[in-house]
Amino acid sequence: MLDRGDILDLGCGQGLLAAWLKAALLCYESGSWPQGWPPAPKPRSTRGIELMMRDVERARAALGYDCEISQGDIRSAEFGTTDAVVILDVLQYIGQEEQLQVLRRVRAALPASGLLLLRIGDADAGLRFRYTQWVDKLVMLFRGHATVATHCRSANQWRELLRECGFEVQTTPMSHGTRFANVLLIAHAV
């Protein structure tokens, strides 16, 4: 889905995912891609939706016309149709009912077998989860955002919610060797 498909990054911030994809493709095409790695993904298009206008402006300045970044609230912004959706560390900032509504809208935007990549903090991870939340709040403050309430779930609760919304889900831990409690949920639309 990330190769020759359309990608929608919800809560894209300053467009880091699009920048990483662009950099990977440049490395691959220049011949400096690590030997033995699969080819770099080459999406047909990359779009992002971000709430904070300052981050939208930074993303647009950095990416130019390579990626469409629009200012909007993922709770109400139009998603259109896409092949893959990426949501990294975003859904915990909206209420649990709103999380459900966003995920239902994501499923409606994807074709059968469409891909959702969702990174979450596992609320069942004890001290590692509390550390993850503390660092997240510190980063928010440094970036000039107010501290906001979070609405977190365990990885099992996220998996169940995704199943309710029409996804098959695989879980991949992302914090090996760190103090964080990040988990990547790889969800395919059914």
Q: What percent of the chain has pLDDT over 70?
A: 98
pLDDT digits (tens, 9 = 90+) for 69-116: 999 999 999 999 999 999 999 999 999 999 999 999 999 999 999 999
What is the predicted pLDDT for the residue at 158?
98
Q: What SS3 class is residue 12?
A: coil
Cross-strand partners of 50: 71
Query: What sign does the dihedral 48-4-20-147 (CA atoms) show?
Result: positive
pLDDT of 117: 97
CB of 169 closer than 8 Å to CB of 162: yes
**In the chain, what are the domains?**
6-189 (3.40.50.150)
pLDDT, mean over the chain: 93
| Confidence bin at 148 (pLDDT 50/70/90) | confident
**Across 140-163, average pLDDT:** 90
Measured CA to CA, the distance from residue 119 to residue 185 in angstroms comes to 6
Specify whether the CB–CB gap between 139 and 156 falls below 8 A: no
Give the span between the Cα atoms of 67 and 65, in whole angstroms.
Answer: 5
Q: The pTM is what?
A: 0.92
Q: Which tens digit of pLDDT belongs to each residue from 25-56? A: 899 999 999 999 998 888 999 999 999 999 99
Query: Tell me, what's the pLDDT at 143?
Result: 77
* Tokens matching residue 72: 């909007």
Nearest CA among 2, 164, 184 for reference residue 89 = 184
Round to whole Å and give the CA distance between 18 and 27.
14
* Average confidence (pLDDT) over 160-184: 95
pLDDT for 1 beyond 60: no
- The pair phi, psi for residue 51, each rounded to 5°, is -75, -40
What was the pLDDT predicted at 2? 58
